[in-house]
Structure 1
């Protein structure tokens, strides 16, 4: 029996070892069945066959619709009517093909399909369409023919990021005006901000086309089409190319966990059946998301999804993906109403082995295309082996989103006075993850910024956000909130299990929630934007938080902090509210006490000397400058034990200090 690394290293998994081995064997068997001896990159090139392609003197269009009885092309040339001279020819494999003169679809022409089946017929957007546009008056979507023309890439893809500092962003709401912003606006105005702020990875949301803007891009309709709301495909390529020139990687928020149930715009009942792409019956409908669930057992579906991955990486040079909704994929019940507090919660016959086989293949494909690419799982159950390499029996993700961290901070800020915060709980929650996996730690993502929820800064400041954010407006509430905001982010970053993430605007404490246009707000764009002027205005306190985040990110990236895996606790004093730990050459000292400052506080450490490299109490960060940043601290032997070394340091209340060890 082949050894599986994460099983061998964790004795608590031994009761479930046989099931894990059987699952891995099943996945390997499915891989052989799918690939049939070909390479995975050759298998995942469906976009070279399906969709619309220019030949010598004509165009060829292919689609897969096994239940259809007739398929027609609809376009301006035939008056958008299903005419016989625009009828596809069917094959035994369920494929449909048509050859038409180039004059039938000129560059920029709109088109769609008319699909018939026993008992019905309907207009459809081609599943392999690479650009889809919505009519502003009728709101109907149509595919748009854009002839292939190689994009002239100016910059090479950057080398692998050792410590990903991820900036989660949404193109449409990235500007200050209440409207939908473009790829070009993001490239020209937001990319320079992200670069200046020090982030080395951008995670773009809502790129594949989606009918409802307010879905945040999580109800995808056209999987191969970058959203036309934001501009042309080449504008997206320019964005990625420009980011690469800045040394920034760009990853996509990829939604392969489900699809929008829309039939006219999406894949729902595409060929008249529910089961073409999705499971038939109740299993094909997600009970919580009002969407459709892919059938990962079908070779055609796996081919479609893997081709989608390769398409984005090859045609647009994306540097990887953050896979959305992985927990929903892993479990037959989507992980709903399950606590995952013990290993038996994972292995009780509830795992979807076909979905796991697909995810293993997806990660294998990503690495074969670009070995430096990033693959991140949005996954909350903590399934063993998720972020373990395929070769070791794992699913192959590089990172798992540490989804418990923002939930922890919300509980702390919302339900527990900071006078009662537990230092041990903070350390445990921020460092807890499986040995074999790396995680992306974050204080808050877009989820915590949506209307109906609250960001950390809003929970800390509440109404003071509205009337006390000018520097000439003193406020103890704001002083407290700004101090804790910096400490929370510094602790989360410096104890992160491999990578760190921030959502656009949260670095400077953006005061507005996110509310996309909808019937309930009279279709307003007022809160679907980011107010960058608040951070830029030096008369306001927001820029203090932005300046601190800038210095924190630059420092952590420059010293490659997160590549050092070990985080060693040094002090955990619940009474004093002091937490201290070491990571590599750095000491991190936190005093969470609301009023007590400590003179000559003793910190056990290695023998050496230390200097201040960052602290949250600088006046430039909205602090009170109670720390001598030029001070050098020398470790001295302990009186009780000459083998132990200690430093003594002044720790003001509600602040944190980062010290670097200097070798003598």
Structure 2
């Protein structure tokens, strides 16, 4: 081993800035650098007693001299840099490591260009923490490449388990105009916790979790976690079939689930055993998962996201979540995840004021703060922020094979005056209330996901009459595949809440949604929002005694499944949960010991079975020729009747009687004479009803009625729905 020969001196100011972490390019001073008579190597190790360079085998190469401020340097005689390691002595303790400052940057020039433009569709492959092998000129070294966007930072350091959370030893370098800071740290692998230390423009050091971390520390911890996926997918057949589907021409019956409370105590791996079997047994085509991105506060139900690229750590790791999606696909169940690109919480360790000032959020509080939720609003007009979100949408579809995104709070994004009084909102450049930047973001997100991930579906939770939510982006629409039909939900639940004696005065609550049914492509949502915050359960909304409540609920569900649009039902409502949802307790599964509640679940199973088997209920969902009224005006009878038509030319006649009386010899108009049969009746005894049904065959005679060519005499059950098909 040689003793360092006249190591190149550094100015005192450089030494000081290295020690305080205030250099934007520490690589310019640290690591190996050509010298006139060899190679100078500098190492930053505050508090070290001795620093040496060795070969990978441990053979000594050079002893480094202390220049001051924890900076050690030495001169290697060879101008070709050898493969060296750094050996540091702290008293009797000795640590050996590979030098991070001998490696070039991992993001390429094209990556940085795309980031500046806001067009990097796989942003997670550049930013964040990526376990990889890095080429350094004479071979490769394994480690983790850290990269973070912090354009206003004066300096950035990475801290974590690998450096005892002391950022002085790992300052990062700025890559210029893109605002990206990076550092490759050899030897760091998955499972290591980390954060970034950022020096703000006003001279404060703040610690932040990684915005693009793919794994997070379980609460109450707030660190990011290095992760490399080892999951092997087994859903090739599913993914191949998915690309051939279109949402508007496909069956879609969705079971909405809050994973943390569906079966409290189960993680992703346990849920992968139970949830697919349950959803499949009930005939649902999809599950919709309330937000699964990391959200340390469980009471937010996932709607206050702190780590957009990491599945919630409380239920397991990223590969555990992959296993759940994989299991659902193997069971033939699609996966839609709730996605929250409108706003994020103010937690000081997460996205808020990330590099010392507004970065991900809009800097003007009239646009950057949400008055209702106490959250911060994304700056959708900033290219890098838009890129962060668009890439995130792609990330969930590509990396986790999810089949769709339900986009939360779209209305709050579209309107600049959403929940803001006069004078508290900032108009757009034309003086209007439309958020033009958010519109462009949503269009870009939908177009990008559609192009990159064929067969995926995007669903808007949008509660206003904004035109073109589900119109294609190239025709000026937002580009969603489906929109939650909030009008149908409000009108139908309002009608069902009425005592039957008063329903005739609210009759058009169930018919009015047909006025706008084809303005958009709709999902009919009975979601978690309708069974929390004092609203009670779906069952509790129904009037009457318990028998009438259950009968009303069964009739309502049959109406919902028959009405144009895909349907969504929140967990617990499939067996008539009788109390509102609690994210702590979850559904009251003990109710299934009561036969009446089990019978409602049987009805939901059979509704889904008939729905999947009958294209009349879904193949023309978005086209007027798929639906026709038989009688929309029987208000005094509390009766509704209509026909659903399928692409195959077959029809299904649906009749609903929302009075607690039996109507015998009811004249029902039908589209054809001949023999008809009742294929479903919610008053059947197997569903907990009184058994008022139409057994056997019905004979429809060729006598015109209500504009149709045939009629039959049927019995209408009390508070029941009945479906009929021609034999």
State the Cα distance separating 1:366 from its structure 2 match.
Answer: 1.3
- 1:83-118 residue CA offsets vs partner (Å, 9 max, x unmatched): 14444445232110112111xx24311111111112
Partner of 2:546 in structure 1? 478
Partner of 2:508 in structure 1? 425
State the Cα distance separating 1:121 from its structure 2 match.
Answer: 2.1
Partner of 2:607 in structure 1? 552
Q: Does structure 1 residue 182 correspond to structure 2 residue 267?
A: yes
**Alignment gaps of 5+ in structure 1:** 1-33, 339-346, 462-475, 517-524
Q: Does structure 1 residue 389 correspond to structure 2 residue 472?
A: yes
Q: Which moved more, 1:606-615 or 1:68-77?
A: 606-615
Task: State the alpha-carbon separation in 2 of the partners of residues 106 and 370 from structure 1.
Answer: 30
Q: Does structure 1 residue 66 correspond to structure 2 residue 151?
A: yes
Task: State the alpha-carbon separation in 2 of the partners of residues 241 and 635 from structure 1.
Answer: 52
Task: State the alpha-carbon separation in 2 of the partners of residues 454 and 639 from structure 1.
Answer: 42
Partner of 1:515 in structure 2? 582
* Structure 1 or 2: more helix by fraction: 1
- 1:328-380 residue CA offsets vs partner (Å, 9 max, x unmatched): 11111126689xxxxxxxx9811111111111111111111222111100000
Task: State the alpha-carbon separation in 2 of the partners of residues 639 and 378 from structure 1.
Answer: 40
State the Cα distance separating 1:125 from its structure 2 match.
Answer: 0.1
Match of residue 334, structure 1, among 391, 407, 418: 418
Match of residue 356, structure 1, among 395, 415, 439: 439
TM-score for the superposition, normalised by structure 1: 0.83
Mapped contact 1:431–1:567 kept (Cα < 8 A): no
Partner of 1:562 in structure 2? 618
Mapped contact 2:233–2:326 kept (Cα < 8 A): no
Match of residue 611, structure 1, among 674, 677, 696: 677
Mapped contact 2:157–2:196 kept (Cα < 8 A): yes
Task: State the alpha-carbon separation in 2 of the partners of residues 371 and 181 from structure 1.
Answer: 32
Partner of 1:408 in structure 2? 491
User: In structure 2, do the counterparts of structure 1 residues 188 and 428 end up closer, same or farther at CA, with 3 Å as the change threshold?
Assistant: same
SS at match of 1:92: coil
Partner of 1:25 in structure 2? none
Task: State the alpha-carbon separation in 1 of the partners of residues 501 and 598 from structure 2.
Answer: 27
State the Cα distance separating 1:574 from its structure 2 match.
Answer: 1.3
Question: Which of structures 1 and 2 has the bigger CA Rg?
Answer: 2
Aligned positions of 1:124-143 closer than 5 A: 124-134=208-218, 139-143=220-224
Mapped contact 1:570–1:605 kept (Cα < 8 A): no
Q: Does structure 1 residue 500 correspond to structure 2 residue 567?
A: yes
User: In structure 2, do the counterparts of structure 1 residues 633 and 349 end up closer, same or farther at CA, with 3 Å as the change threshold?
Assistant: farther
Task: State the alpha-carbon separation in 1 of the partners of residues 364 and 421 from structure 2.
Answer: 23
Mapped contact 1:41–1:365 kept (Cα < 8 A): no
SS at match of 1:132: coil
Mapped contact 2:155–2:199 kept (Cα < 8 A): yes
State the Cα distance separating 1:206 from its structure 2 match.
Answer: 2.2
TM-score for the superposition, normalised by structure 2: 0.76
Task: State the alpha-carbon separation in 2 of the partners of residues 455 and 305 from structure 1.
Answer: 34
Task: State the alpha-carbon separation in 2 of the partners of residues 428 and 640 from structure 1.
Answer: 17
Task: State the alpha-carbon separation in 2 of the partners of residues 408 and 348 from structure 1.
Answer: 34
Task: State the alpha-carbon separation in 2 of the partners of residues 348 and 540 from structure 1.
Answer: 60
SS at match of 1:141: coil
SS at match of 1:304: helix
Task: State the alpha-carbon separation in 2 of the partners of residues 276 and 242 from structure 1.
Answer: 35
Match of residue 144, structure 1, among 225, 245, 262: 225
State the Cα distance separating 1:122 from its structure 2 match.
Answer: 1.1
- 1:482-539 residue CA offsets vs partner (Å, 9 max, x unmatched): 1110111111221133x110001111111232234xxxxxxxx3x3x2233422x3x4
- 1:563-617 residue CA offsets vs partner (Å, 9 max, x unmatched): 2233211123112222111111011111212225232434354434321110111
Task: State the alpha-carbon separation in 2 of the partners of residues 587 and 47 from structure 1.
Answer: 51
Aligned positions of 1:31-430 closer than 5 A: 43-53=120-130, 54-56=132-134, 57=141, 58-102=143-187, 105-119=188-202, 120-134=204-218, 139-149=220-230, 151-155=232-236, 156-157=238-239, 158-159=241-242, 160=245, 162-175=250-263, 179-264=264-349, 266-334=350-418, 349-414=432-497, 416-422=498-504, 424-430=507-513
* Structure 1 or 2: more strand by fraction: 2
SS at match of 1:579: strand
Task: State the alpha-carbon separation in 1 of the partners of residues 298 and 406 from structure 2.
Answer: 20
- 1:23-51 residue CA offsets vs partner (Å, 9 max, x unmatched): xxxxxxxxxxx99999x997311111111
Higher relative contact order (CA 8 A, sep 6+): 1
Task: State the alpha-carbon separation in 1 of the partners of residues 463 and 217 from structure 2.
Answer: 35
**Alignment gaps of 5+ in structure 2:** 1-110, 135-140, 423-429, 646-650
User: In structure 2, do the counterparts of structure 1 residues 37 and 223 end up closer, same or farther at CA, with 3 Å as the change threshold?
Assistant: closer
User: In structure 2, do the counterparts of structure 1 residues 229 and 598 end up closer, same or farther at CA, with 3 Å as the change threshold?
Assistant: same
Task: State the alpha-carbon separation in 1 of the partners of residues 122 and 128 from structure 2.
Answer: 12
SS at match of 2:618: helix
Task: State the alpha-carbon separation in 1 of the partners of residues 488 and 360 from structure 2.
Answer: 38
Mapped contact 1:424–1:574 kept (Cα < 8 A): yes
Q: Does structure 1 residue 626 correspond to structure 2 residue 692?
A: yes
State the Cα distance separating 1:202 from its structure 2 match.
Answer: 1.0
Task: State the alpha-carbon separation in 2 of the partners of residues 654 and 348 from structure 1.
Answer: 52
Q: Which moved more, 1:594-603 or 1:388-397?
A: 594-603
Partner of 1:7 in structure 2? none
SS at match of 1:187: helix
Match of residue 588, structure 2, among 519, 531, 546: 531
